[in-house]
């Protein structure tokens, strides 16, 4: 198998001053990509800001013989994101890869969480991802090539105590990806998700033993990212990854049951709950038409027997 490389490609990586984003930016550059290293340079909760972290990563890439520019755009600000993308276009004339990685944490149980903290986390993760993607989307359509990776989380796929805001943002990326997968297909734009767990400043105090954390390297996550932005990448894939383990996550539905009109009551749903919930025959659908067709087929089959 030939090496996966990105020679001639231009990548933007958000939140690339530390942790996963830094690992992503360095690896893309090492494999030939020209990289915009974006980082607001704030603290873990999103406060403050400095270009120094992004500049340090860009300097490292340039010193190693690569090409990189540092950028301090706040991914929630339209004008700053537009300026970041313009800088990439002015420097290199295209944008091929976008890795949406910027994020913050403001963890609290929901009854103690302020709505300001809820909105801020949604803004950075979900709106920031959408804004950066929306800004590069016309470029990718025009050049009929684009690779977009969004960073979801086990919190969005499965839930984590005290992360209603973070989990909601990360789950929202699934619907975002599903739509962009469909809309980008004719333009060779592929959109995928990472669902990572790694040792970074975002996970340093969540109670995972140090010996386990040491195995959860950012580089292990970056390997999955590199595949998802390659020429031969899939689309609409969710890669769950941690400590060198990789799995594909799916949204599935059970086979379900059909209840005729005179039986469509909450009591009958309760009576059939075990059958409705059975995992014996799980279904994966490529789009929202799938479950509708499943239910309509059941209704038609019942009508044919009547």
Q: Phi first, then psi: give them for residue 180, nearest 5 degrees.
A: -70, -30
- Residues in the chain, overall count: 306
Phi, psi angles (nearest 5°) of residue 247: -145, 155
CA distance linking residue 138 with residue 180, whole number of Å: 13
Print burial letters for 40-56: b (CB count within 10 Å at least 16), e (below 16): bbbebebeeeebebbbe
User: What does residue 193 show for φ and ψ, rounded to 5 degrees?
Assistant: -125, 145
Catalytic residue annotation: 166
Helices and strands, counts by H and E, the chain:
12, 10
Sole residue written with tokens 């059941």:
298
The one-character DSSP state at 262 is G
In terms of Cβ atoms closer than 10 Å to its own Cβ (0-12, 13-18, 19+), residue 273 is exposed
Please state, in angstroms and as integers, the Cα–Cα distance from residue 261 to each residue in 170, 258, 264, 266, 300, following that order.
37, 9, 5, 12, 13
Sign of CA dihedral 227, 128, 91, 64: negative
Category of 238 on φ-ψ map: left (φ > 0), alpha (ψ -120 to 50) or beta: beta
């Amino acid at each position: 198998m030939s090496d996966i490389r990105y020679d001639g490609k231009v990548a933007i990586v958000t939140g690339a001053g530390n942790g996963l984003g830094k690992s992503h930016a360095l690896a893309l550059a090492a494999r030939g990509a020209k990289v915009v290293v974006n980082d607001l340079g704030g603290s873990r909760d999103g406060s403050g800001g400095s270009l120094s972290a992004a500049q340090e990563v860009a300097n490292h890439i340039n010193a190693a013989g690569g090409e990189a520019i540092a950028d301090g755009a706040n991914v929630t600000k339209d004008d700053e994101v537009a300026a970041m993308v313009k800088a990439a276009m002015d420097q290199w004339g295209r944008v091929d890869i976008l890795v949406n990685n910027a994020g913050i944490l403001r963890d609290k149980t929901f009854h103690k969480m302020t709505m300001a903290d809820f909105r801020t986390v949604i803004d950075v993760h979900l709106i920031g991802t959408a804004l950066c993607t929306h800004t590069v989307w016309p470029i990718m359509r025009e050049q009929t090539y684009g690779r977009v990776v969004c960073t979801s989380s086990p919190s969005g796929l499965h839930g984590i105590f005290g992360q209603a805001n973070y989990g909601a943002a990360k789950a929202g990326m699934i619907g975002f990806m599903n739509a962009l997968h469909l809309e980008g297909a004719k333009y060779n734009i592929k959109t995928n998700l990472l669902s990572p767990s790694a040792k970074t400043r975002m996970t340093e105090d969540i109670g995972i033993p140090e010996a386990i954390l040491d195995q959860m390297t950012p580089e292990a996550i970056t390997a999955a990212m590199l595949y998802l932005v390659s020429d031969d990448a899939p689309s609409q894939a969710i890669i769950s990854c941690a400590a060198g383990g990789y799995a594909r996550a799916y949204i599935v539905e059970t086979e379900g049951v059909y209840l005729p009109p005179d039986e469509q009551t909450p009591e009958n749903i309760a009576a059939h709950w075990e059958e409705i919930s059975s995992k014996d025959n799980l279904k994966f659908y490529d789009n929202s038409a799938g479950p509708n067709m499943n239910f309509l087929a059941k209704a038609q089959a019942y009508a044919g027997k009547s």
